Amino acid sequence: MLRVVLADDENKIILLLQKLIDWESLGYEIAGTANDGLRALELVQEKQPHLLITDVRMPGCSGIELIQRAKDLQPNLHFIVISGYRKFEYAQNALKYGVEDYLLKPLKQDELTGILLRLKDKLGEEAALEFRLRKSGERQQELLIDALKAAADRQSPFLTAEQLQSGYGLHFPESGGAFFAAVVKPDVANAAQYQDGYQIMIRHALEAVRRELRALTDTYAAAARREGVLAFARVGEYQAVEVQQCFTKIRKEIEKQRDLFWTIRCTACLGSRKSRVEQLDVSLQEALWLCRDRLCLTQSWRDAEREPPVFDRRYQMETARKKSFQVAAECLDEERMNQALGESYDSVLSQTDLNGQMLEDWFYQVLEACLYGMRQVGRVDERFSAEMEDRFWHCADAQDVLQALREGLCQQIRHLRDERSLRETRPITDAKRYIQQHYQEALRLEDVSSAAGFNATYFSTLFKKETGQNFMDYLTDLRIGKAKELLSGYDLSVQDVAEMVGYRDLKYFSKLFKKVTGVSPSDYKKLYR
């Protein structure tokens, strides 16, 4: 869709423009409206529209001035001017700045529709080109952030200025300037349960970060990852107040989305400033440490220059506690798992100077111990570990970390328990199918147990556990049931029926039938004749 901003000092004209045209059917969408020139300029910067429709006379700044300044902000922006003044100089001045057309009030629907249709092909081509270029630029930013994140994870230097120039087309002055990395982390209650809404919010957060960094500097990159929005930037001269104001605007823009969520809290974490681009890995490590630490210390602004991260303050779980998690997981015991989690969590919270990195250490050590135990009894889905890592980054505080472990591990225990039950019942299902197919034969327990792949003694115990009957009782009920169907529905002799359900001895069959049903086969047959 082609984005349009409407600007007029009269609300009734704005409303008329909105209702006069079926914008969507023409391939346009109203990105915003403004009642003065300054607000219109803000919308041009924020919404990056393809078309601005404006009155010539506007408060704040005139329509002609608005066009001039909007062109500076967005050189490819197109304009349609509307005015109630029939003076040639207005139109002449407007057309001088590349205005597509000039309409006089009162507006005529067919006239405006015709202009929009003529513009559509031209704007469509430009919009498609803009989209491709923007996507290409966004993809480049994602690749840069991935490279930086990988360097931070490896604790190895980021790319050099030469590598960035040759590989990504980024140019840096030979000297001067400051580089820094940042993490912007929005937290939403129950984010893991509302993935669609959370992803929408993250996309808006990324747009806000890119927009404000673009206003701060020409050299930046940002991408949304599971940790939040990761970014880096270079500024010619680092102004602490200016940078903090930039991230304050980002945070407030993100928190405006509270109408979509019950709660939303945003934390901006800044790594220390570096003189060389290849040192950005350290800056990102610091920003990520501060981001983790929001689990323990709730603040909207964290700066590694003011509060250096304590990287060597880590958590190590005792061997006995690890063993308790392994045993609970191997036994697939939810109650024991919950008890172990509660006791271990209380122990972690009692740690002196607890930080977010220590909570993450605890999270992964619990997860590792439980995975070891679970793998002793079944196959754990490879995606489970990655899903748990995602759950960790959805947590907003220490209590959320405990809850994420509790829900994720107990859910996996139930899954493995169901799988084990299915493994145990599958042979019985196979055995029942075999009995259905062979009940007319002289069937023995050994025949069925062999078909199911078990020895007769174990199979007999398992069969009784799963069906509530021993093998012979189950076979008898099946045969007598089939005999009742044949006696009531077909004109067959009792002798024929007995042989058809697996009994060669008529006397034995009759005695067994009466024992089960309370009547003889002959009397049962008479009931249906």
The CATH code of the domain that includes 92 is: 3.40.50.2300
**What pLDDT is attached to residue 262?**
64
Q: How far from 404 is each of 136, 166, 413, CA to CA, in Å?
A: 36, 43, 14
Q: What is the pLDDT of residues 154-182, one digit of tens each?
A: 999 999 888 888 888 777 776 678 999 99
Domain closes at, from 90, 107, 124: 107
Q: Are residues 454 and 496 in the same domain?
A: yes
Q: What is the dihedral of CA 253, 255, 257, 258, to 10 degrees?
A: -160
pLDDT at 528 over 60: yes
Instruction: Please determine, for residue 236, whether its predicted confidence score (pLDDT) is greater than 80.
Output: yes
Q: What is the pLDDT of residue 85?
A: 58
Residues 272 and 401 grouped into a single domain? no
Q: What is the pLDDT of residues 134-161, one digit of tens each?
A: 667 888 899 999 999 999 999 999 998 8
Q: Looking up tokens 């984005």, which residue turns up?
A: 3
CATH number of the domain within which 231 lies = 3.30.70.270
Instruction: Assess whether 347 and 470 both reside in one domain.
Output: no
User: Does the residue 119 lie in any domain?
Assistant: no
Contact indicator for 366, 344 with CB cutoff of 8 Å: yes
pLDDT in tens, 279-294: 999 999 999 999 999 9
Answer whether residue 199 is part of any domain: yes
Tokens 């300029």 locate to 41
What DSSP designation does 266 have? E
Strands across the sheet with 51-55, in order? 28-34, 2-7, 51-55, 78-83, 101-104
pLDDT of residue 72: 83
Is 314 part of any domain? no
Are 378 and 273 in a shared domain? no
Give the torsion sign (CA, 341, 342, 344, 345).
positive
pLDDT of residue 410: 94
Kindly state whether residue 369 falls inside one of the protein's structural domains: yes
Q: Is the pLDDT of residue 3 over 80?
A: yes
In this structure, are 196 and 345 located in the same domain? no
**Residue 99: Cβ within 10 Å count:** 19
Same domain, 279 and 182: yes
Expressed as residue numbers, the domain containing 515 is 426-526
> Which one has a higher pLDDT value, 442 or 421?
442
Q: What is the domain-level CATH number for residue 486? A: 1.10.10.60
Looking at per-residue pLDDT, the higher value among 73 and 209 belongs to 209
Residue 454, in any domain of the structure: yes
How high is the pLDDT of residue 130? 60
In the chain, % of residues over pLDDT 70: 92
Which of 391, 418, 445 lies at the terminal end of a domain, its last residue?
418
Predicted confidence at residue 88, as pLDDT, reads 45
Tens of pLDDT along 65-105?
888 888 888 888 888 888 765 554 555 555 555 677 777 77
Chain mean pLDDT for the chain = 87
Give the chain's domain count: 4
Q: What percent of the chain has pLDDT over 90?
A: 44
Quote the pLDDT of residue 195.
67
- Taking residues 257-262, report their average pLDDT: 64
Residues 496-508 have a mean pLDDT of 90
271 plus 351 within the same structural domain: no
Length in residues, the chain: 529
Residue 15 lies in a domain: yes
> Is residue 160 located within the same domain as residue 258?
yes
Q: Are 365 and 322 in contact (CB under 8 A)?
A: yes
Helix (H, G, I), strand (E, B) or coil at 218: coil
**Same domain, yes or no: 160 and 298:** yes
pLDDT at site 93: 58
Residues whose CB falls within 8 Å of the CB of residue 207, separated by 6 or more in sequence, listed in order: none
Q: Are residue 224 and residue 277 in the same domain, yes or no?
A: yes
What pLDDT score was predicted for residue 194?
Answer: 67
Please indicate, yes or no, if residue 310 is contained in any of the structural domains. no
381 versus 319: the higher-pLDDT residue is 319
Question: Is there a single domain that holds both residue 265 and residue 362?
Answer: no
Would the pLDDT of 449 be above 50? yes
Structure tokens at 92: 């002449």
- Which comes out higher in pLDDT, residue 172 or 29? 29
Q: Is the pLDDT of residue 404 over 70?
A: yes
Distances in whole angstroms, Cα of residue 236 to Cα of each of 24, 118, 171, 173, 268: 44, 44, 13, 9, 21
116 within domain boundaries: no
Contacts of 40 (CB under 8 A, 6+ apart): 5, 7, 34, 52, 54, 58, 66, 70
Residue 27 contacts residue 1 (beta carbons within 8 Å): yes
Question: In this structure, are 298 and 355 located in the same domain?
Answer: no
